Amino acid sequence: MSQKENGVKKKEPSVPTVLKYAFGGIAAVAGSSIMHPMDLFKTRMQITSESVGKKPGIIHVITTAVKEDGIRGLYRGLTGTILRHSIYSTIRLGLFTSGTEYYRNKFDDSPTVVASVFIAIIAGALGSFVSTPADVCLIRMMSDARLPPEERRNYTNVINALTRIVKEEGLLTLWRGAVPTVGRAIVVNTAQLASYGQFRNLSEKYLGLQEGMLLHFAASTGSGLLTATVSLPVDLVKTRIQNMKVINGKPEYRGISDATIKTIRSEGTLALWSGYIPYSLRIVPNTILVFVFLEQLNTLYFKNVLGEVYKSKI
C-alpha cells in the first residue's frame, strides 16, 4: 500500500514507465532466446503430428533435428523469436506492470484477481495482435525443415521472411492466425501474469519465503506450470493455422473451430496436447527466466538508482 506522511498519501518509488516496457522486453528476449530450442522442438512435434498422423516422441524430434540441421539448426528462427518478443513481450509486460501500478496508486491496494485478469487480457491481446507478423515468420522458419525440399520456403532471416511473405502472398498473410494468436495470448497472459502475484502470496504465506530470488523462482514455477497446461491446445491450433498450405486456392482450415475439429477427428482429443513435454520444458523455465530477469532488473534499479529496497510491483 502507499505510504502516508502527515495524513497525505506519499507516492511510492517506482520504475519509470519507459523502463517498465524496456525491462519487460529485455527479460523476455533473454529468456526466450535461451529456451528457443525447446520452442523449435514443440513446434516440430505439432507439425509432425499433423503431417504423419501420429505423435512423435520428444527424443525422436530432438535427434532428427540435430541430424538434419546440426547444433546450429536448433536456433533456426531465432531472429523471429527476438523480433516477436521485442514487440509482444515489451508491450504485454510493460502494460501489465504499468496497469498493476496504476491500480495500486488509484485504489491504495494490490489488484484483485479479477482486476489482474482484466489487465493481463488487455496487455496480452494488444501485444499479440501487433506481433502476429513476427509470429507467423517464426513458425514458418522453425517448421521449414520438416517440409519436403521442394516445398521449403528457405527464409534466411526474419526480415527476409517478412518481405517475401508480403511480396509472394500479400500483406494480410502476415496476420494469418491472428485470432487464435490473440486467443492464445489471452490464455497465456491470464494464466501467467495474473497468477504470478497469487503464487507469490501463496509462497510467502505457506512456504514462508521472503522477497528475493527464491520467492521469484517459486512463484514463476507455479505460474509456468499452470500456463503450459491451459494454453497448449490454443497454441497447437494457432501453429497449424499459421503453417497451413493453400491447396487449389483453398486453405486447409477455415478457422479455429475447423482446425480444432479436424485435429480431434484425425488424431484424438489428446492431440491438442501434442508436444506437452517440450512445451512445458519451454514454458516453465521461460516463465522462471522472464520473471527472475524482470524482478532482478527492477531490484537493480531500486538499489542503484533509487537507493530503496525493492518489493515486487507485479
CB atoms within 10 A of CB 72: 8
Closest C-alpha among 276, 286, 288 to residue 61: 276
The kind and range of the H/E element at 239 are: helix 213-243
- Buried-exposed string 154-187: b where 16+ CB fall within 10 A, e elsewhere: ebeebeebbebbeeeeeeeebebbbbbbbbbbbb
- Taking the CA atoms of 296, 301, 306 and 312 in sequence, report the sign of the dihedral they define: negative
pTM, entire model: 0.79
Rg (CA), the chain: 21
Domain ranges of the chain: 14-306
Q: Find the largest Cα–Cα distance for the chain.
A: 75
Quick count: other Cβ atoms within 10 Å of Cβ 275? Answer: 29
Give the list of residues 6+ apart from residue 14 with CB closer than 8 angstroms, or none. Answer: 101, 313
SS3 130: helix
Class of domain 14-306: mainly alpha
Q: Which amino acid is at 64?
A: T
* Structure-block grid coordinates of residue 83: 523480433
In this predicted structure, what is the pLDDT of residue 255?
85
* H or E element, residue 4: strand 3-5
- pLDDT at res. 1: 46
C-alpha cell at 292: 527472475
| pLDDT for 302 | 94
Per residue of the chain (314 residues), what is the pLDDT tens digit?
Answer: 445 555 555 667 889 999 999 999 999 999 999 999 988 887 887 776 555 556 667 788 888 888 877 888 889 889 999 999 999 999 999 999 999 999 988 888 888 889 999 999 999 999 999 999 999 999 899 888 778 888 889 999 999 999 999 999 999 999 988 988 898 899 989 999 989 988 999 999 999 999 888 999 999 999 999 999 999 998 888 888 887 877 777 888 888 899 999 989 988 998 898 878 878 888 899 999 999 999 999 999 999 999 998 888 77
Cell triple for 62: 530432438
The predicted structure's pLDDT at residue 56: 67
Note the pLDDT of residue 312. 80
